[in-house]
């Protein structure tokens, strides 16, 4: 038993190393390139290898965090969340955009559940809900974060809309809370607008849409490109109400 536990611990170290290398590759792979899709496809193939069972007992191999190998892609969610939150303000713009593109593809393909969508909440909160990075409700948000937000919406606007409108909690929430008890908190601008419930909710979604429209109007004269991207993002989120007949 001790030998088996020790071997599992060594393997978990190797798993973390695998995910770190995957994340490093994702950071330097342009989000718009087909190669980014291939990386996600490799993750899906890994998931389809499992569950891995013990030859003698037939029992599934379960990691220390309760996830199965390979079916649950153990530790990928945690390692992605850590890489994203630790590097959100320190990654280069291209690294941030590329990693956002990788994660939103993973969420959209349901490769490892909805938990990674919590990274989108961190991004949206920092870019649209936090007064430290935006002096007024209609003022400019941090442009270095908005580019990653645009990338996330380009590949995953429907998932963001669906999670918000249908109010589905991210699962398993207990693991998200273990990683960061503040993962779904609302920024002060959102709270000032009456958004108080954490996580994905429709009122928060509508605040994001209004916020993007406000930024678009505010920067229109000095940065038409940024203004157009903000308007495009707001329209992208809004269109799903009509598409899904939820207007």
Confidence (pLDDT) at 134: 45
The whole-angstrom separation of Cα 157 and Cα 170 is 16
Peptide bond preceding 51 in cis form (omega within 30 of 0): yes
Number of domains in the chain: 1
Closest CA to 125 of 202, 79, 210, 184: 184
| Per-residue pLDDT reduced to its tens digit, 118-142 | 999 999 999 999 986 444 445 445 6
Closest CA to 23 of 98, 114, 88: 98
pTM of this structure? 0.91
| Per-residue pLDDT reduced to its tens digit, 10-36 | 889 999 999 999 999 999 999 999 999
Q: Exposed e or buried b for every residue in 95-106, given b needs 16+ CB within 10 A? A: bbbbbbbbbbbb
Average pLDDT, the chain: 89
Instruction: At 90, list the tokens.
Output: 């320190």
Return all residues near 64 (Cβ < 8 A) that are at least 6 apart: 8, 9, 12
Confidence (pLDDT) at 137: 45
Between 224-243 and 143-165, two packed helices, what is the crossing angle to 10 degrees? 10
| Per-residue pLDDT reduced to its tens digit, 169-216 | 776 667 777 788 888 999 999 999 999 899 999 999 999 999 999 999
Return all residues near 164 (Cβ < 8 A) that are at least 6 apart: 200, 201, 202, 204, 205
- The answer to whether the CB of 43 falls within 8 A of the CB of 106 is yes
Residues spanned by the domain of 181: 1-245
| Per-residue pLDDT reduced to its tens digit, 105-114 | 999 988 887 8
Task: Give the whole-number percent of the chain exceeding pLDDT 90.
Answer: 69
| Per-residue pLDDT reduced to its tens digit, 32-43 | 999 999 999 999
Confidence (pLDDT) at 133: 47
Peptide bond preceding 236 in cis form (omega within 30 of 0): no
pLDDT band at 45 (very low <50, low <70, confident <90, very high): very high
The whole-angstrom separation of Cα 126 and Cα 116 is 16
């Amino acid at each position: 038993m001790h030998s088996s536990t020790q071997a599992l611990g060594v393997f978990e170290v190797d798993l973390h190393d695998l995910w770190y290398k995957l994340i490093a590759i994702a950071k330097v792979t342009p989000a718009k390139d087909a190669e980014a899709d291939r990386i996600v496809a490799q993750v899906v193939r890994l998931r389809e290898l499992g569950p891995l069972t013990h030859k003698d007992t037939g029992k599934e191999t379960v990691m220390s965090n309760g996830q199965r190998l390979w079916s649950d892609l153990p530790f990928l969610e945690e390692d992605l969340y850590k890489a994203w939150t630790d590097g959100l303000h320190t990654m280069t713009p291209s690294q941030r955009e590329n990693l956002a593109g990788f994660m939103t593809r993973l969420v959209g393909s349901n490769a490892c559940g909805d938990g990674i969508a919590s990274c989108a909440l961190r991004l949206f909160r920092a870019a649209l809900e936090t007064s430290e990075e935006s002096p007024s409700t209609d003022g400019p948000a941090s442009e270095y974060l908005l580019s990653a937000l645009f990338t996330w919406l380009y590949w995953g606007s429907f998932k963001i809309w669906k999670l918000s409108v249908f109010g589905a909690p991210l699962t398993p929430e207990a693991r998200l809370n273990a990683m960061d008890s503040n993962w779904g908190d609302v920024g002060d601008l959102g709270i000032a607008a009456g958004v108080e419930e954490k996580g994905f909710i429709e009122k928060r979604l509508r605040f994001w849409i209004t916020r993007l429209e406000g930024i678009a109007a505010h920067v229109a004269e000095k940065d038409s490109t940024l203004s157009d991207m903000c308007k495009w993002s707001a329209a992208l989120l809004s269109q799903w109400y009509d598409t899904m007949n939820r207007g």
